[in-house]
Structure 1
Amino acid sequence: MTGVRILVDADACPVKDEVYKVAWRRAVPVTIVSNSHLRIPAHPLITRIVVGDGFDAADDWIAAAADAQAVVITADILLADRCLKAGATVLAPTGKPFTTASIGSAIATRAIMADLRAGGDQVGGPKPFAAADRSRFLQALDTALVRLTR
């Protein structure tokens, strides 16, 4: 793939509608990648890829397509790491950017939380998705696209 584009890890993504709006305004193609058939708008900029049910099949597809011209939308820390290594810009649905400087601590925190859960500890999950997250995401995606299209 070439040119600026948005790749969305879509199965549990709460900001797909926001991605479409920004993509249409900026005329940037979007690829929605999921393990199951998701409804998408009928629009020439939006493409749907349904991968198999294999473990990490969507992640593998996205990581293989990621490069310096891609903005990847995912909450998956390990996928974010793979995409950063490929040169992509990576945003969480909350608008928080994953960076090469921050990904190491995010992976470490993920591992610690997994160990606590495996040990039977009750640990809270992520904060509920809020309107402020949606707003922050819109701003972060727009900023990323402006930077890449310069």
Structure 2
Amino acid sequence: MKIWIDADACPLVVKELVIKTALRTQTPAIFVANQPIKVRKSPLISMVVVSSGFDIADDYIADNVEEGDLVITSDIPLANDVLDNGGQVMTPHGVIYDKNNIKQKLNGRDFMDMMRGTGAIDLTQMAGQKPYSDKDKKTFADGLNRLVR
């Protein structure tokens, strides 16, 4: 098993928890992003910098994930691709995606994209993402500990 992290928009606390877990469990962790990020120096921790562009990091992860690997991402289409490749997916908020819930999330995302595209939803009225809370941190840490042993 390897842990892949879609690192461009991943909260710092999640990156730190992944590194601690990788070192504790001797599980390789690969951070993938469009620009370098600071990661702890260890043979178990690596950073892959991909070129800038839409979904380049996501495509890299989807193309390299293997069956049983864990991917940390909020990107629903990437989560779907990972599940199709036999991987596991968890969001930085600790939500675990699987074959039973990913299609519903994908359909909801596509519907919202369509609504925004037609102007039915005013983008200025959307709240955006909630701040990362202590509850999110605990939920993520608990899920990570369950999936990586």
Q: Say what the alpha-carbon RMSD is for the aligned residues.
A: 1.2
Q: Aligned with 1:13: secondary structure?
A: coil
Between the aligned partners of 1:65 and 1:141, the Cα distance in structure 2 is 20
Between the aligned partners of 1:51 and 1:94, the Cα distance in structure 2 is 24
- Counterpart position of 1:38: 37
- Counterpart position of 1:23: 22
**Paired residues, number:** 143
Would you say the 8 A contact 1:117–1:123 is kept in 2? Answer: no
- Counterpart position of 1:134: 137
Residues 45-93 of structure 1, C-alpha deviation per residue, up to 9 Å, x if partnerless?
A: 1011001113211111100111223100000000000000000010000
Give yes or no for the alignment of 1:13 onto 2:10: yes
- Counterpart position of 1:59: 58
Q: Please tell me the residue identity of whatever aligns with 2:88.
A: T
Deviation for aligned residue 1:104: 0.7
Between the aligned partners of 2:19 and 2:143, the Cα distance in structure 1 is 14
Q: Aligned with 1:8: secondary structure?
A: strand
TM-score (norm 2): 0.90
Q: Please tell me the residue identity of whatever aligns with 2:142.
A: Q
Runs of 4+ in 1 over 3 A off after TM superposition: none
Between the aligned partners of 2:130 and 2:103, the Cα distance in structure 1 is 21
Q: Please tell me the residue identity of whatever aligns with 1:87.
A: G
- Counterpart position of 2:103: 104
Deviation for aligned residue 1:126: 3.0
Q: Aligned with 1:31: secondary structure?
A: strand
Between the aligned partners of 2:74 and 2:84, the Cα distance in structure 1 is 16
Would you say the 8 A contact 1:30–1:47 is kept in 2? Answer: yes
Q: Is there any run of 5+ residues in structure 2 with no aligned partner, and where?
A: none
Deviation for aligned residue 1:43: 1.4
Between the aligned partners of 2:108 and 2:133, the Cα distance in structure 1 is 22
TM-score (norm 1): 0.90
Q: Please tell me the residue identity of whatever aligns with 1:111.
A: D
